[in-house]
Amino acid sequence: MDVMEKLKILGDAAKYDAACTSSGASKKAGRGGIGSSIAAGICHSFAGDGRCISLLKVLLTNACIYDCKYCVNRRSSDSVRTAFSPRELADLTMQFYRRNYIEGLFLSSGVFKNPDYTCERMIETLQILRQEYHFAGYIHAKAIPGADSALLEKLGLLADRMSINIEMPTNESLQLLAPDKSKQSILEPMGFIKGRIAENSHDIIKYKKPPAFVPAGQSTQMIVGATKESDRQILNLTAGLYKKYELKRVFFSAYIPAVEHSLLPARDIEPPLWREHRLYQADWLLRFYGFDAKEILDEAQPNFHPYVDPKCYWALRHMDNFPVEVNRVPYEELLRVPGIGVKSAQQIVRARRSCSLDFEALARLGVVLKRAQYFLVCRGRKRSGLELTRPALLRALMSKREVSKYELDQALGENQQLSLFRSAPRLTAAQEEELRCLPMPM
Amino acid sequence: MSADADVIYRYDGSFAGLLCCVFASYEQKEIPAAIYSPQDMQLSLLFTREIYTEEDKSQRVLRSIPKKIHQDALDFIRRIFLTCLPQKEWYILLFLRRAYKEGPSILQNVADPLVNKLYKAVRHLENEAHLLKGFIRFSDCENVLATKIGPKNQVLPLLADHFCDRYPEEQFLIYDEVHRQALLYQPYQIKLVEMDVMDFPVFDESEEKYRELWQAFYDAVEIKARHNPKCRMSLMPKRYWKYMTEFDRMPASQNPLAGNRSDAAVGEIISIEAVSPAVK
């Protein structure tokens, strides 16, 4: 099989991995080498689905000894199997990199023969890149669960970032859908990598330049919507992973039915993109907005709101915290105002040192007043002409897409009501209820 | 602050020339209604003052900025000068006149309408440079990595360090066909030159092969069940597409990168071979 065919098959097989960032490391090649990376990461293109393409994301092979039910590469699937040779893949990476198509390589693999053998082939590829071609670009390597820790160690010294996908949010789901994997086999290497990173930062104090072990940290991914966990369970797990394993990033991937199986959702379901989006939003609240998972969702509210994003939803349930005075309130509280993001909060703090801000100034600083106006006062005053009614507030807090989704659901509900042969419009009633239950600012 | 004189300044388009406009504004005790560079062809009924670029005047203004305001103010106006903000020269003058009076604190006053406008223009420049760090697609033309771009802002000075760090051992050339400038690099030397026309040779077989491999990968990586062209367009505006390999599916002979005939008729053609010695 030629490289073109292999690339099509092994690129296609790797695409369900959500992580494609090239962030977290900052370095450059010296003379004689090639490559650099910047901490913020660089997107080189965007695919037709709107996802960033930063790395050449491929599998070393799509052959696999495991039979995970949700996976397109599972043993029992009758797809065409192939593999790159380490040299082939290293050369392809270099040629793509020279042309600035990519920021580096994202190397994952099916498990062929056994975990150790797979890991060794990955190491061989990365050694050609790093040692022979002096490649200093970004490398993200997937740790192969079950591989020897000495091999993980080798891999970690060659890669910028490593990841082990946790796949399912609970051990029960994992056992149901990935009987060859266990929570243990996933968390063990994760713990090993965490320990080595910590050791490495200790070495930096001891020695001038120890070899860096995964300088951009580790990440993981969870599939959302293949099993029954609530949003709250997933979010709590996420917060726990950040805390316990010091992960740089947890990715969520809406379950795309690629496989028919009695234990999985039917093949014709829509991927739960909305849920994935809400989790993504909540993840940002955890990482950059100082929110605790328990604040975002709790026992009474175990799932995200379909029409209002997690931050607005939180604000609506805590109207007693508002309004805040923009010219005095601390940065941390500014971040909690709907319509103010990290950038605009920083700008506000910077600008208010030299003058007191009014609503016009806030608009110039990038604050989304449509939302923020309900939660702010400037120099002790509310925005003039502000309509403080429930529909006005809700409309303001919903994005255009959320409004149209709401209207669509409404229309669908009404059609159902007209049809005598359909079951009662339960969905819409529940949604109406959701909106009615939203607390009001007054 | 607004214009208080019925006069227009015309300068040579250089940064030093602009500093001389600042000098003239103080010398004449006036704020002109506009400052035009040779690119601005407007005819005006107002009196036009020709501002000549004089080394000692521009140096005096240049030295005074870090001394009387702050080094950051100088870096800031250098960046504004690279943006596509209409009448940027006039706004730089207004900014400097206020900054001399108010001191370095003006740089923090990002909510001020004038300062805010300038910050936004600079952010637009920096964002465009950041996007192009990813969207630039080189083609290997006889061992020189070459590309064309069509940015709104003059991004080449902001791209230089990045690509030098990335390809220390390569030769590369980035041609900005809007501002008619090129960034030329060969190991350990970088140059920014004015260049009217740029012609690329036809790609060889191996270049064609990697272009096709990249296109195949680009197609394979999309999850079709999540197709979302709107999202793609907002993250990667269409004006960049015509320079990108993944959207360029024509045979090499008809490739837009492979030379623009109408351009060729206008001026001297600089080929890769001609450029390489220029770098040396």
pLDDT exceeds cutoff 60 at B130: yes
The answer to whether B18 touches B81, Cβ cutoff 8 Å, is yes
Omega before A323 cis (within 30°)?
yes
The nearest CA of chain A is from the CA of B261 a distance in Å of 25
Both tokens assigned to A110: 């099916």
Task: Identify all chain B residues contacting A49, using CB atoms and an 8 Å cutoff.
Answer: 222-224, 226-228, 231-232
Task: Calculate the average pLDDT of chain A.
Answer: 86
Determine what percent of chain B falls in helix, strand and coil, rounding each to the nearest 5.
Answer: 55, 15, 35
Residues A34, B145: C-beta atoms closer than 8 Å: no
Number of Cβ atoms within 10 Å of the Cβ of A210? 15
Residues A101, B137: C-beta atoms closer than 8 Å: yes
How far apart (Å, rounded) are the C-alpha atoms in residues A352 and B108?
9
Residues B221, A354: C-beta atoms closer than 8 Å: no
Diameter of chain A by CA atoms?
77
The nearest CA of chain B is from the CA of A288 a distance in Å of 21
How far apart (Å, rounded) are the C-alpha atoms in residues A314 and A289?
12
Task: Identify all chain A residues contacting B160, using CB atoms and an 8 Å cutoff.
Answer: none
Instruction: Give the single-character DSSP code of B226.
Output: G
**Which among B111, B112, B210 is the nearest to A95, CB-wise?**
B210
Contacting residues for A115 by C-beta, under 8 A, at least 6 apart: A144, A145, A146, A147, A148
Instruction: Give the single-character DSSP code of B190.
Output: E
Both tokens assigned to A310: 């997690």
Specify the pLDDT at position B91: 97
Both tokens assigned to B142: 């006889």
pLDDT (tens digit, 9 = 90+) per residue, A66-91? 888 888 888 988 889 999 999 999 99
Task: Identify all chain B residues contacting A50, using CB atoms and an 8 Å cutoff.
Answer: 226, 228-232, 235
Residues A43, B235: C-beta atoms closer than 8 Å: yes
How far apart (Å, rounded) are the C-alpha atoms in residues A260 and A76?
12
The nearest CA of chain B is from the CA of A303 a distance in Å of 23
Nearest CA in chain A to B135: A44
B40 conformational bin, left if phi > 0, alpha if psi -120 to 50, beta if neither: beta
Nearest CA in chain A to B166: A35
Residues A28, B223: C-beta atoms closer than 8 Å: no
The percentage of residues in chain A with a pLDDT greater than 90, rounded to a whole number, is: 55
Q: Which domains does chain A have, with CATH numbers?
A: 3-296 (3.20.20.70), 305-442 (no CATH)
pLDDT exceeds cutoff 60 at B256: no
The percentage of residues in chain A with a pLDDT greater than 70, rounded to a whole number, is: 91
The answer to whether B253 touches A138, Cβ cutoff 8 Å, is no
A414: pLDDT confidence band, cut at 50, 70 and 90?
A: low
Residues B220, A11: C-beta atoms closer than 8 Å: yes
Both tokens assigned to A350: 């910077």
- Quickly list DSSP for A285-308: HHHHS---HHHH--SS--S--SSS
Q: A333, A313, A314: which is closest to A377 by C-alpha?
A: A333
Specify the pLDDT at position A391: 77
**Span A28-56, average pLDDT:** 91
Torsion of Cα atoms, A370 then A371 then A372 then A377, to 10°: 70
pLDDT exceeds cutoff 60 at B142: yes
Residues A354, B145: C-beta atoms closer than 8 Å: no
Indicate the SS3 state at residue B170: coil
How far apart (Å, rounded) are the C-alpha atoms in residues A103 and A130?
14
pLDDT exceeds cutoff 50 at A429: no
Task: Identify all chain B residues contacting A12, using CB atoms and an 8 Å cutoff.
Answer: 220-221
pLDDT exceeds cutoff 70 at B276: no
Task: Identify all chain A residues contacting B210, using CB atoms and an 8 Å cutoff.
Answer: 95-96, 99
Specify the pLDDT at position A209: 65
Residues B226, A56: C-beta atoms closer than 8 Å: no
pLDDT exceeds cutoff 50 at A14: yes
Contacting residues for B251 by C-beta, under 8 A, at least 6 apart: none
Residues A256, B213: C-beta atoms closer than 8 Å: no
Both tokens assigned to B184: 């030329």
Task: Identify all chain B residues contacting A44, using CB atoms and an 8 Å cutoff.
Answer: 134-135
The nearest CA of chain A is from the CA of B48 a distance in Å of 34
The nearest CA of chain A is from the CA of B59 a distance in Å of 31
More confident residue, B13 or A32: B13
**Span A39-53, average pLDDT:** 93
**Span B177-184, average pLDDT:** 95
Residues A32, B168: C-beta atoms closer than 8 Å: yes
The nearest CA of chain B is from the CA of A33 a distance in Å of 7
Query: To which H or E segment does residue A245 belong?
Result: helix A231-245
- Quickly list DSSP for B15-76: HHHHHHHHHHHHHTT---SEEE-TT-----SSEEEEPP--HHHHHHHHHHIIIII-HHHHHH
**Span A163-189, average pLDDT:** 86
Task: Identify all chain A residues contacting B232, using CB atoms and an 8 Å cutoff.
Answer: 46-50
The percentage of residues in chain B with a pLDDT greater than 90, rounded to a whole number, is: 75
How far apart (Å, rounded) are the C-alpha atoms in residues A327 and A325?
6
Specify the pLDDT at position A438: 47
Specify the pLDDT at position A421: 31
Q: Residue B71 CA to chain centroid, in angstroms? A: 22
Q: B60, B134, B170, B219: which is closest to A95 by C-alpha?
A: B170
Specify the pLDDT at position B28: 93
pLDDT (tens digit, 9 = 90+) per residue, A100-121? 999 999 999 999 899 999 999 9
Task: Calculate the average pLDDT of chain B.
Answer: 87
Residue type, A208: K
How far apart (Å, rounded) are the C-alpha atoms in residues A259 and A273?
18
The nearest CA of chain A is from the CA of B245 a distance in Å of 9
Beta-carbon-side half-sphere exposure of residue B27 (alpha carbons within 13 Å): 12
pLDDT exceeds cutoff 60 at B273: no
Interface A-B, measured as beta-carbon pairs within 8 A, has a size of 163
**Which among A7, A36, A352 is the nearest to B166, CB-wise?**
A36
Nearest CA in chain B to A45: B135
B150: pLDDT confidence band, cut at 50, 70 and 90?
A: very high
Task: Identify all chain B residues contacting A95, using CB atoms and an 8 Å cutoff.
Answer: 210
The nearest CA of chain B is from the CA of A37 a distance in Å of 8
The answer to whether B76 touches B122, Cβ cutoff 8 Å, is yes
B247: pLDDT confidence band, cut at 50, 70 and 90?
A: very high
A426: pLDDT confidence band, cut at 50, 70 and 90?
A: very low
How far apart (Å, rounded) are the C-alpha atoms in residues A95 and B137?
12
Residues A256, B169: C-beta atoms closer than 8 Å: no
pLDDT (tens digit, 9 = 90+) per residue, B53-63? 999 999 999 99
How far apart (Å, rounded) are the C-alpha atoms in residues A213 and A82?
30
Task: Identify all chain A residues contacting B116, using CB atoms and an 8 Å cutoff.
Answer: 364-365
Q: Residue B160 CA to chain centroid, in angstroms? A: 11
Specify the pLDDT at position A361: 95
Q: B249, B209, B218: which is closest to A8 by C-alpha?
A: B218
Task: Identify all chain B residues contacting A355, using CB atoms and an 8 Å cutoff.
Answer: 109, 111-112
Nearest CA in chain A to B143: A98
Residues B246, A28: C-beta atoms closer than 8 Å: no
**Span A162-180, average pLDDT:** 87
Q: B210, B189, B109: which is closest to A91 by C-alpha?
A: B210
Both tokens assigned to A410: 């409404």
Number of Cβ atoms within 10 Å of the Cβ of A133? 17
B32 conformational bin, left if phi > 0, alpha if psi -120 to 50, beta if neither: beta
More confident residue, A303 or A387: A303
pLDDT (tens digit, 9 = 90+) per residue, A394-412? 888 888 888 887 778 777 7
Q: Is the dihedral of CA A39, A43, A49, A55 positive or negative?
A: negative
pLDDT (tens digit, 9 = 90+) per residue, B200-246? 777 888 999 999 999 999 999 998 888 999 999 999 999 999 999 99
Both tokens assigned to B233: 């367009």
Specify the pLDDT at position A204: 64
pLDDT exceeds cutoff 90 at A306: no
pLDDT (tens digit, 9 = 90+) per residue, A357-373? 999 999 999 999 999 99
**Span B156-163, average pLDDT:** 96
What b/e readout covers B239-252, taking b as 16+ CB neighbours within 10 angstroms?
Answer: ebeebbbbebeeeb
Specify the pLDDT at position A413: 66
Beta-carbon-side half-sphere exposure of residue B151 (alpha carbons within 13 Å): 31
**Which one of B124, B200, B223, B231 would you mutate to disrupt binding with A, by most A Cβ within 10 Å of its Cβ?**
B223
How far apart (Å, rounded) are the C-alpha atoms in residues A433 and B167?
59
**Which one of A49, A273, A358 would you mutate to disrupt binding with B, by most B Cβ within 10 Å of its Cβ?**
A49
Contacting residues for B156 by C-beta, under 8 A, at least 6 apart: B174, B176, B179, B181, B182, B183, B192
Residues A48, B227: C-beta atoms closer than 8 Å: yes
B258: pLDDT confidence band, cut at 50, 70 and 90?
A: very low
Task: Identify all chain B residues contacting A347, using CB atoms and an 8 Å cutoff.
Answer: 110-111
pLDDT exceeds cutoff 90 at A210: no
Q: Is the dihedral of CA A307, A312, A314, A318 positive or negative?
A: negative
Residues B111, A7: C-beta atoms closer than 8 Å: no
How many residues would you count in chain B?
280
Residue reference for tokens 């797809």: A79
pLDDT exceeds cutoff 90 at B67: yes
How far apart (Å, rounded) are the C-alpha atoms in residues A331 and A286?
16
Specify the pLDDT at position A428: 43
